[in-house]
Chains A and B, each alone.
Chain A
Amino acid sequence: MIRAIGAEGVAWLMAWACATVLCLALQGCGSTLRVHATIADVAGATLDESCSSVQTHRRVQLEEAIAAHEYAEDAAAAVDQVRARWAPALDGCDLVTTAHDAWVDAITLASVSGTYDLAHAVADVRRLLEAWRPLVELLGRVGIDLPAPPPELAGLLSGGAP
């Protein structure tokens, strides 16, 4: 457990260091909108990595449940168990996807309108954090790693940029 937490901590540190390199190296990194976009990009990639494996692992377990039973009644019961076990993870991924989408939509709209409403942005980031934190535990129950939300994301709540 300690090793896992340590690895995730190092992963986040390095991943966000890379994102910072991107921000610093590209022109206009001082723009709040661009900082939000950069962090939203890395957050999206991380969440997508873990949530896409939910579907893969669930399908494999469903196929195993069918293969393990000769009769339809037994297979159906086993399939129901697998579906029930994965339902919270699916719901959690759905919630976090909705929250991330809303944030990205706000960033995209802001790039068109030329103004970024920080109060709304903070609300979007807060919703994403509220969906992300419980998902770490939900995915952990089905054996899928999702790193805890990075401090840079929480940092957006206080002032719009980490």
Chain B
Amino acid sequence: MSPGQIAFEAYNISRGGKTHDGKPTPPWTELGEGVRGGWEAAGEAANAHGKPSAREVTVEVLRGVAGVAALVGGALPAPFATAVRIVGAAAGAASVGLDQGLTDDQVIARIHRVSRLDVSADDAAIDAAVAGKPHRP
């Protein structure tokens, strides 16, 4: 049964098998070509509604990869953990990009910069801890 016929039959059942003026609804095979075409368009539209697009499926797959990488990465030894984290980061970035359909400018604005290290606070705390220790007698 085609999507159009399924839609038509559902309509028919809900209306008690009657047309708008109380006459029996003709069977699908007796409908005119134009009317059947209209029902097919309605059936296809209903089918398409709610179905994930290829882009949405890809986003979900990449999100899944990023999620699994985050879970598994912490449990692996050093080189493998690094490998898995890199894959997870790339998959996560890809899923975000795909999900949001970013423009060139948006992609550029989101480039991950390397954080500049500042150890001055660490060193100050360490120096204070050293200064707090007793001197050799």
Interface positions of A (Cβ within 8 A of B): 3-4, 7-8, 10-12, 14-16, 18-19, 21-22, 25-28, 31, 33-34, 37-38, 40-42, 44-52, 54-55, 58-59, 62-63, 66, 69-76, 79, 83, 90, 93-94, 96-97, 100-101, 104, 107-108, 111, 143, 145, 147
Contact = CB atoms under 8 A, between A and B. Distances in A.
**Interface of A (DSSP majority class):** helix
Contacts of B79: 3-4, 7-8, 145
A7 B89 CA distance: 16
Q: Which of A4, A15, A101 has the most CB of B within 10 A?
A: A15
A21 B133 contact: no
A52 B112 CA distance: 13
Interface in B36-74: 55, 58, 62, 65
B126 A108 contact: no
Contacts of A94: 116-117
Contacts of B84: 11
Given A22-B98, A100-B113, A145-B82, A55 B122 contact: yes
Given A96-B114, A100-B113, A55 B86 contact: no
A34 B104 contact: yes
B83 to A, nearest CB: 3
A49 B86 contact: yes
A65 B110 CA distance: 39
A73 B136 CA distance: 7
B32 interface: no
A51 B83 contact: no
Interface in B7-60: 55, 58
Contact of A18 (B55, B87, B134): B87
Contact of B112 (A21, A41, A63): A41
Nearest to A3: B79
Contact of B133 (A44, A55, A66, A108): A66
A91 to B, nearest CB: 10
Given A42-B112, A72-B136, A101-B113, 18 more contacts: A8-B82, A11-B86, A15-B87, A21-B58, A21-B62, A22-B98, A28-B104, A33-B108, A34-B107, A37-B108, A42-B90, A45-B89, A51-B117, A71-B134, A71-B135, A75-B133, A97-B117, A145-B82
Contact of B111 (A7, A16, A51, A107): A107
A31 to B, nearest CB: 6
B110 A41 contact: yes
B91 A18 contact: yes
Given A33-B108, A101-B113, A63 B83 contact: no
A97 B118 CA distance: 12
